[in-house]
Amino acid sequence: MMPFSDEDIYMAVKHHLPSVVEYVKGHGGDIELLGVKNGNVYIQLTGACHGCSMSLMTTKMVVERRLKELIHPNLTVINVEAGQESSVPSDLYNGS
């Protein structure tokens, strides 16, 4: 169980995402923050990173690792591939 609310985690991810995105932008991509649910951060890689065979590695080894360092070691980052949007919980916290 995460000691922070989904809203807290969302705000922290939103704050730190620009520093994490630098690596992805260097490869012609970007990251869209979809929302947070139960400590799981849902993102979508866009641009050149969208659908790339290395997207899982980028998600886990770059994005997730950096956000764990910056925010909390128990965070999980889930990259939602195109066509998998239905796998995203409908009640994500997304700042609205």
Structure confidence at residue 52 (pLDDT): 80
Using the structure block, give the residue that is written with the tokens 């995105």.
21
- One-letter amino acid at 77 equals V
pLDDT value at residue 56: 82
pTM of the model: 0.89
Among 30, 12, 8, residue whose Cα is nearest residue 68 = 12
Cβ atoms of 13 and 36 closer than 8 Å: yes
Query: How does the average pLDDT of the chain come out, rounded?
Result: 89
Task: Please state, in angstroms and rounded to a whole number, the distance separating the CA atoms of residues 4 and 18.
Answer: 21
Q: What pLDDT was estimated at residue 54? A: 81
Q: What is the pLDDT along the chain (96 residues), one digit of tens a residue?
A: 557 899 999 999 999 999 888 888 988 989 999 999 998 999 998 888 888 888 888 888 889 999 999 999 999 999 998 888 888 999 999 988
Going along the chain from its start, the domains and CATH numbers come out as: 6-81 (3.30.300.130)
- pLDDT at position 48 is 85
